[in-house]
Amino acid sequence: MKPLNIAILGCGTVGGGVAQILTQQKDLLSKRSGREINLKFIAELNPEAAIKRFSLDKKYFYSNTKQVSIEEILNDNDIDVVVETMGGKSDFVHNTCLNVLKNNKHLVTANKALLAERGSDIFAEAENRKLQLGFEAAVCGAIPIIKGIKESFTGDIIESVSGIMNGTSNYILTQMQLQNLDFSEALKLAQQNGYAEADPSLDINGGDASHKLILLTKLAFGKKISMDELSVVGIEDINTNDMDFAKEINASIKLICLTKLKDNKIYAMVRPMAVKNDNTLSNVNYAVNAVRLDNKYSGTHFLIGKGAGSTETAMSIVSDIVFIARHHEVATFNEEDKYVLGDAKEVCFPYLVSFKTKNLPGTTGLITTCIGRQGINIETVGHNRFSGETADFSIETDECCLKTIEQAIEDIKRENKDLLLQEPKILPILY
């Protein structure tokens, strides 16, 4: 069989890592693939820096002494697979990915923002042309959840997909919990240790996790959702008090992605949740990611591993290349888009609700009465941290939907408009 020829667009941390594995492990990968895996070209704006940084041969970057361009790669009929590691969701990257497919080449990418926000025509183009679109690296790095759904749990019916899908926020939350740091200290530490970008907003506001959840919702349930449709709360407002309230009920706070099918509706959300210590997710710490599947026939599964990192992401891309080599023709995996998107506020959880109030007698009575009026049972009222004028405490409720909790809070405000010193924080509790 002819070699599988690869080109890489963009030789930064991830693209360079892919080039290194493809060249250093060429024999092993070729054996596993049943055909030669051959890196042919790399298109990179600054080839000399990349050659030095990754100890790569000049020949990948130059063709007849001319620097290899994206156009040359697109027009090269000898190239079978293009790896896009430029990143970003610009028109340029979007069009380049489409053109890869229009030139009948398989596409492999780790670009979750592009696929989640502007991916529809890219997926459609791949499907129409019976080309493969490898994106294992786009969702939780090296965790094999994409192939898990497409190739391993195909005999099952997925009922929900959930988990910890952003390593940066998990690193921050873990430091807050285990080292008693406040949010800004933990964020700083994450930046110092290379776990957060200089601009960390997409990681801490749930945006990055949302991209992954959108891709998983499409894959598991066939349901396309947009960023606007998704119910998202980030971790920016979590403070040491919240950590403490969670500890009090034997839980730790994690940024949880959840998408589930119930009564023909899809419910999807990204929110900080209080995860009880018995739940495996509660012990997934630092930059580790975890995906939980709840399946009709095979029950609960966890896949836990590094969600990001250059070699992890690069490995995942290389595995997609080997997969394409092993399986040149694959039936499209495309679950029918037949479900309606439900209101995430209708999903029932027990809740941990934390209050900062004036320190007045009768406060607990008023708040618990308002909660009870909505038909919500109270599990525990936590230890009250009085400090002069203010009181901080939390309430653990039995299962109810978010709407009723929000109504109870409105009711509290109606009863005494000055009592609450800040908007109560409402964390779903995961058992």
Is 254 among the residues that bind a copy of itself (CB under 8 A)?
A: no
- With tokens 């941290």, the residue in question is 385
Amino acid present at 38: N
Size of the site for a copy of itself (CB under 8 A): 60
- Coil, helix or strand for 302? strand
SS3 state of residue 155: coil
Nearest residue to 147 via CA among 159, 158, 135: 135
Nearer to a copy of itself, 166 or 313 (CB): 313
- Three-state SS for 228-288 is HHCEECCCCCCCHHHHHHHHHCCEEEEEEEEEEEECCEEEEEEEEEEEECCCHHHHCCCCE
| 270-289 footprint of a copy of itself as x/- string (CB under 8 A) | ----------x--xx-----
Using CB under 8 A as the binding rule, whether residue 319 contacts a copy of itself is answered as yes
Among 64, 65, 66, 155, binds a copy of itself (CB under 8 A): 155
Q: Which of 124, 157, 227, 360 binds a copy of itself (CB under 8 A)?
A: 157
Determine, following the binding rule CB under 8 A, whether residue 188 of this chain makes contact with a copy of itself: no
Chain mean position to CA 169: 11
Q: Are strands 251-262 and 158-164 parallel, antiparallel or unpaired?
A: antiparallel
Interface pick for a copy of itself out of 19, 219, 314, 395 (rule CB under 8 A): 314
Q: Of 105, 212, 254, 306, which is the active-site residue?
A: 212
Closest CB 340 distance from a copy of itself, rounded Å:
19
Distance (Å) of CA 14 to CA 11, 316, 324, 429: 7, 10, 19, 36
The binding track of 95-134 with respect to a copy of itself, each residue x by CB under 8 A or -, is: ----------------------------------------
Please write down the HEC assignment for all residues of 61-119: CEECCEECCHHHHHHCCCCCEEEECCCCCCHHHHHHHHHHHHCCCEEEECCHHHHHHHC
The answer to whether residue 54 forms part of the interface with a copy of itself (CB under 8 A) is: no
**Catalytic residue check, 212:** yes
Nearer CB in complex with a copy of itself: 303/366: 303
84 near a copy of itself, judged by CB under 8 A: no
Report the catalytic residues.
212
Binding residues for a copy of itself (CB under 8 A): 21, 25, 28-29, 31-35, 136, 141-144, 147-148, 151-157, 280, 283-284, 295, 297-306, 309, 311-312, 314-323, 325-327, 329-333, 335-336
